[in-house]
Structure 1
């Protein structure tokens, strides 16, 4: 069985269209359709059927889909084993929303330059979800917020950034006492289901602050935008830039505050350990020695 034919089937089943699968695989629709027919002929069953304008997997197709992740993981392991301990193969990586914009671009740029035979598949998500996916073996490594509990010895952690909590307010608001302002003005809370949100909740309780909470969100970009529009104050981790552009905010350091730690978490062993170690190396060295910024030009 040609693994490329299976990948084409998965793309059609996932995206519901031969045309969309072809676009994502950089193939012609005719080539994808041919691969799909060849796979169906080899297996002796129809794998997809048309429902209106959408292609959906049949019962046989759903059964095959249930096995594909295991097959693809086995192929990644074979490529890594064939590399003879050299960094190679495909890594399944996780990253939080702020890490995707603030940390991962430079890390991935260094990874592609120094280890061109390592491929990366990135899954965005919340830290708690990425953590459990890594423990389940679904991810090789993840850039996320450090959990507030002891981690098993099968995984390793390296802190990349200390991100203190800061009070953010609209630029026009005068703040003389951050704690007084937090109790006086409407408060937009970072979701307590997130580890960063739990850190903020502990800060408020430790300082016995009774905030006028009216909204709770798990999206930091949305929180700072709402604050800039004058809808309240918030406490957020001072995450790695870029922050949303064009915002006029006051950012005030809070007293006696614990910093959120963002870093890389990875599995200590496995068939892709050489590639994992290469990724971790790029994470740690990029923060110490960031790549040069690309040249920009302006028309005056």
Structure 2
């Protein structure tokens, strides 16, 4: 159905005359009459009653007039929005806590530089919770760990960075042997309910280390803060400079796992982007992925 015909119908009703509507539209009365006939045939009802040179709407015409005004306004607004350079709207992004404190701020800076009018709502949760929200279409994308199961065709994954385990120690211990520090110093443990904490626990077991635990926290930044206060050492995923920036803390690389306990990658975790390929905001998701890849390459 041509919305132009509906717009001209509104003009006919408002003017009460096809001739007057034709004059205002700068077309012939015959063209207006033909459009009204096409509109009536399309809808299958009579829309106008003719009285000499004047016309008035039928009951169906009155209903079309009532709804048609809003329809024409909506179409005009849609046409203007599509044709404009406006890039407004909302991207619903999920993230794990470690990405929020590490990688995400840099990615957000690059994304907003491209899409200044887009509002980004950020939800922080664990990877399983983020995946569930994504599957339920309450999120468009999630910066999280790679799920351990096969993904459905509607969900895509792109790896962005590998995050190995590092040992956080007071700055004065930067030159010490990390395994010896793990054996001799109290451990500020990263939550074993989280993927990074499980990874650290497996590493300790593979190295045959039974640490003297001091506390267990569910934030890598909180672990770094406790280490800075001299409360022990911390075995956490390397989320980047956020761990040591403006802190008297050093991040020590760890020796590889002993033979038979897995490859070097066994003590790494994969961080990447999950997204719905059916999302109506897919162009923003792809732009976000491009920004993340660029930030990773520049870093």
Deviations 1:4-26 (A, max 9, x none): xxxxxxxxxxxxxxxxxxxxxxx
> Residue in 1 aligned with 2:89?
89
Distance 1:107 1:246, change over 3 A: closer
Question: Do residues 247 (structure 1) and 253 (structure 2) align?
Answer: no
> Residue in 2 aligned with 1:185?
185
CA contact (8 A) 2:244 2:250 kept: no
> Residue in 1 aligned with 2:122?
122
**5 Å matches for 1:146-161?**
146-161=146-161
Question: Do residues 281 (structure 1) and 285 (structure 2) align?
Answer: no
CA RMSD of aligned residues (A): 2.9
> Residue in 2 aligned with 1:55?
none
Once residues 144 and 154 of structure 1 are traced to their aligned partners in structure 2, the CA distance between those partners, rounded to angstroms, is 17
Q: What displacement does 1:226 show?
A: 0.7
Q: What displacement does 1:167 show?
A: 1.2
Distance 1:154 1:208, change over 3 A: farther
Q: Which protein has the larger Cα radius of gyration, Structure 1 or Structure 2? A: 2
> Residue in 2 aligned with 1:143?
143
Question: Do residues 207 (structure 1) and 207 (structure 2) align?
Answer: yes
> Residue in 2 aligned with 1:197?
197
Once residues 125 and 83 of structure 2 are traced to their aligned partners in structure 1, the CA distance between those partners, rounded to angstroms, is 30
| Secondary structure class of the residue paired with 2:147 | coil
Once residues 173 and 282 of structure 2 are traced to their aligned partners in structure 1, the CA distance between those partners, rounded to angstroms, is 51
Deviations 1:74-99 (A, max 9, x none): xxxx9xx9699x97632110123332
> Residue in 2 aligned with 1:107?
107
Once residues 185 and 242 of structure 1 are traced to their aligned partners in structure 2, the CA distance between those partners, rounded to angstroms, is 23
**5 Å matches for 1:20-99?**
89-99=89-99
Once residues 171 and 225 of structure 2 are traced to their aligned partners in structure 1, the CA distance between those partners, rounded to angstroms, is 12
Q: What displacement does 1:173 show?
A: 3.9
Once residues 217 and 233 of structure 1 are traced to their aligned partners in structure 2, the CA distance between those partners, rounded to angstroms, is 13
> Residue in 1 aligned with 2:268?
259
Taking structure 2 as the reference length, what is the TM-score of the superposition?
0.61
Once residues 115 and 174 of structure 1 are traced to their aligned partners in structure 2, the CA distance between those partners, rounded to angstroms, is 42
| Secondary structure class of the residue paired with 1:271 | coil
Q: What displacement does 1:249 show?
A: 2.1
CA contact (8 A) 1:98 1:239 kept: yes
Taking structure 1 as the reference length, what is the TM-score of the superposition?
0.61
CA contact (8 A) 1:134 1:142 kept: yes
CA contact (8 A) 1:98 1:240 kept: no
Distance 1:206 1:108, change over 3 A: same
Deviations 1:248-297 (A, max 9, x none): 1232111116222222111122322223222222222332347xxxxxxx
> Residue in 1 aligned with 2:280?
271
Q: Would you say how many aligned residue pairs link Structure 1 and Structure 2?
A: 211
Once residues 252 and 133 of structure 2 are traced to their aligned partners in structure 1, the CA distance between those partners, rounded to angstroms, is 35
Distance 1:142 1:205, change over 3 A: same
